[in-house]
Amino acid sequence: DAGITQSPRHKVTETGTPVTLRCHQTENHRYMYWYRQDPGHGLRLIHYSYGVKDTDKGEVSDGYSVSRSKTEDFLLTLESATSSQTSVYFCAISERTRRDEQYFGPGTRLTVT
Amino acid sequence: SQQGEEDPQALSIQEGENATMNCSYKTSINNLQWYRQNSGRGLVHLILIRSNEREKHSGRLRVTLDTSKKSSSLLITASRAADTASYFCATDDGQNFVFGPGTRLSVLP
């Protein structure tokens, strides 16, 4: 987990509230990713970024938005949280391309009640 | 849609035994990666094998890739209790980078 931090690590929120998760890296890697992990589904890509202000959708992007205003920070926002967004969220980074090995943060456990 | 599918879903072995888990995928790939996840932690990269490679080693890990069968295997030799974790394959087909649902390995002391 060195070089990648996520905050908060745990959060409980109510349905309908906005939530922002933060990923911070100190590796100066170009690519950053947000995944969610749910039992039986492995990791599913939500959004990724390939540079400052450059982002693209992943497999399960509905209900999520992202922003990257600095190389080191990648924010994931749930505009109006739903119970189906209860999950563990992982941030990851890769150095140059999407094909490179990815390094993962420690995860954020989000519960939407 | 999932590209890689690990098999078995769960595996229990005794310490010292070898563990083999498999990953099958559907479309042509550029590379395939294996990751380990200890309970409550993020994933850790183990090995990347490219489509033109057939075998790679890293310590006690051996990965093979058979592109004709669209499958890969991860062998952990002389397993230890610390190898208890979930193992995921991830495939890159040039368009998508997709993780499989994982194999849960338990190594019993």
Q: Which chain A residue's Cα is nearest to B90?
A: A43
Mean predicted confidence (pLDDT) in B1-6: 66
Q: Which chain B residue's Cα is nearest to A43?
A: B99
Q: How far apart are CA A80 and CA A54, in angstroms?
A: 23
Choose among B45, B99, B102: nearest Cβ to A101: B45
Place of tokens 């933060």: A22
pLDDT single digits (tens) B18-39? 999 999 999 999 999 999 999 9
Q: How far apart are CA A101 and CA A86, in angstroms?
A: 27
Tell me if B99 and A92 make a contact (CB, 8 A cut-off): no
Tell me if chain A has a CB within 8 Å of the CB of B92: yes
Residue A58 pLDDT: 92
With beta carbons under 8 A apart, name residues in chain A contacting B100: 42
How many angstroms separate the Cα of A37 from the Cα of each of A29, A41, A74, B25, B80? 23, 7, 18, 20, 26
Alpha carbon B45 to its chain centroid, in Å, reads 10
pLDDT at A96 > cutoff 90: no
More confident site: B17 or B9: B17
Tell me if chain A has a CB within 8 Å of the CB of B97: yes
CA-based nearest residue to A48, from A106, A111, A109, A100: A100
Residue B7 pLDDT: 84
More confident site: B86 or A2: B86
pLDDT at A39 > cutoff 90: no
φ/ψ bin of A53: left (φ > 0), alpha (ψ from -120 to 50), beta (otherwise): left
pLDDT at B1 > cutoff 50: no
pLDDT at B58 > cutoff 90: yes
Query: Chain A residues contacting B, CB < 8 Å?
Result: 1, 4, 35, 40-45, 59, 90, 92, 98-99, 101-107
Q: B21, A86 in Cβ contact below 8 A?
A: no
The DSSP secondary-structure symbol of B10 reads E
Tell me if A102 and B43 make a contact (CB, 8 A cut-off): yes
pLDDT at A11 > cutoff 70: yes
Choose among B40, B42, B98: nearest Cβ to A104: B42
Place of tokens 């391309």: A97
Length of chain B: 109
**Torsion angle (degrees, nearest 10) of CA B55, B108, B38, B96:** 40
